[in-house]
Amino acid sequence: MLRFIFRRLLQAIPVLLAVSVITFLLIHAAPGGPFAEEKAVPPEVLKHLNERYKLDQPIHIQFYDYISHAVRGDLGPSFKYPGRSVNEIIAAGFPVTLELGCYALLFALLIGIGSGVCAALSPNTWRDYLPMMFATIGICLPAYVLGPFLVLVFGIWLEWLPVAGWELIPGDKILPSITLGSVYAAYVARLSRGGMLETLSRDFIRTARAKGMPEAVIIFRHAMRVGLLPVVSFLGPALAGLLSGSFVVETIFQVPGLGRYFVQGAFNRDYTLILGTTLLFASLIIVFNLIADIMLAWLDPKVRHETING
């Protein structure tokens, strides 16, 4: 097991390197520099800015410079925010995004697995249709529709919750978490329903039933283990997506997280900020996928051998 984890972490090095090379090339190929503004920047000012941020050097030297700092943990200064380093921006935003993501995930798993399994246990009854209907609507209502709608209902009409902010007013974390979590809840619900239905019809469940095992044991110990495999595969990318995809939610609810930099960094051509957040995102994907694979193995003993020793 440890060897497996070690090997996967070793594989992370070429992945991160590839990500940074490709991203570096992409952003430098994109038109419009980081300093362009509505009012034309005088050429002499631009020249000094380019010198200051070493943009006047050949691209391979810039890259070498960036990487050699990055491996030492220095992601460079932000171009848009002259007084901030990328490390500082990540340090300020990431914990917030992580917290938001955790609440959202918790919400998604509770609601999603709960209603998905519930639906699978009594297929084609109202217990199936009702949660699945909500799941379907949930998928059709992306965050940019659901968020403003929830704000309208709970913030403006009922006046129960703050309409925006993060740690500004008690209760302001609830709506963003629900908004971010609900799309994922809908996915989890559908995937777990599908997986459970499939599993409940398998031979080993029938055998267990024939042996007279208690239903609760069958469902929790046996069926869910296998039935939730698709959910687990989905979770790796979903978790990473929760963190980077919180852009919309963060904008709607004025949450000072990192998600908005994934998109805004690109719009602002804040080269170092794009690279920094992308590398962070890549690391998260590697870690979450690793966790998902370990969980897959743990849930399915037959796979364990294949994944970990194979």
Partner 1 sequence: MVDRLDSISVSPRQDAWRRLKKNRPAMFGLFVLAALVTLSILAPWITPYSYAEQNLELGPSAPSSAHWMGSDLFGRDLLTRMLYGSRISLAVGFIATAVALLIGVTWGALAGYLGGRIDALMMRAVDVLYALPFTIFIILLMVVFGNNIILLFLAIGAVEWLTMARIVRGQVLHVKQQDFVEAAVSLGLTRLQIITRHVIPNVMGPVIVYATLTVPNVILLESFLSFLGLGIQPPQSSWGLLISYGVETMEEYPWLLIYPAALLSLTLFSLNFLGDGLRDALSER
Partner 2 sequence: MIRLQGLTSRGQSKKFARIFTLTPYIFRNPILPALFLFIASCGFNHETNVESGTRQGILHVGNGDEPRELDPHVVTGSIEHNLCMALLEGLLDRDPESLDIVPGVARAWEVSEDGRTYRFHLREDARWSNGDPVTAADFVYSWRRALLPALGNNYAYMLFYIRNAERFHRGEITDFNKVGVKAPDDLTLVVELDNPTPFFLQLLTHMSYFPVHQATIEAFGAPDERGTRWTRPGNHVGNGPFKLKEWVLNRSIVVEKNGHYWDAGRVKLNRIVFYPIQNATTEERMFRAGQLHITGTTPLDKVEYYRQERPEVLKLFPFFSTYYYLFNTGASPLDQVKVRQALAMSIDRQQIVEKITRAGEIPAFSYTPPEVNGYRAEPGFSYDVERAGALLAEAGYPGGAGFPPLELMYNTSEGHRRIAIAIQQMWKTALNIDVTLVNQDWKVYLDKRDARDYQVARAGWIGDYLDPNTFLDMYTSNSGNNDTGWSNLRYDTLIAQAGETTDRERRFALFREAESVLMTDLPIMPIYTYMSKALVSPDVRGWYPNILDIHPYKYISLVQSTD
Residues that bind partner 1 (CB under 8 A): 11, 14-15, 18-19, 22-23, 26-27, 29-31, 132-133, 136-137, 139-142, 144-145, 148-149, 152, 187, 190-191, 194-195, 198, 226, 229-230, 232-234, 236-237, 240, 262-263, 265-267, 274, 277-278, 281-282, 285-286, 289, 296, 300, 302-303, 306-307, 310
If one asks whether residue 165 binds partner 2 (CB under 8 A), the answer comes out as yes
Task: Provide, rounded to whole angstroms, the least separation between the CB of residue 36 and partner 2.
Answer: 4
- What residues numbered 272-291 form the site for partner 2, per CB under 8 A? none
If one asks whether residue 169 binds partner 2 (CB under 8 A), the answer comes out as yes
57 vs 202, beta carbon nearer partner 1: 202
Segment contacting partner 2 (CB under 8 A): 18-26, 114-122, 237-245, 282-290?
114-122
Residue from the set 15, 57, 87, 114 that interacts with partner 2 by CB under 8 A = 114
138 vs 236, beta carbon nearer partner 2: 138
Residues found in the chain: 310
- What residues numbered 117-136 form the site for partner 2, per CB under 8 A? 117-118, 121-124, 127, 131
Distances (CA, A) of 175 to 158, 165, 303, 310: 13, 10, 39, 44
Residue 302 contact partner, candidates partner 2, partner 1, none, CB within 5 to 8 A by sort of partner: partner 1
Residue 38 contact partner, candidates partner 1, partner 2, none, CB within 5 to 8 A by sort of partner: partner 2
Distances (CA, A) of 82 to 48, 49, 63, 175: 14, 11, 20, 33
Segment contacting partner 2 (CB under 8 A): 12-20, 55-63, 154-162, 285-293?
154-162
206 vs 305, beta carbon nearer partner 2: 206
42 vs 310, beta carbon nearer partner 1: 310
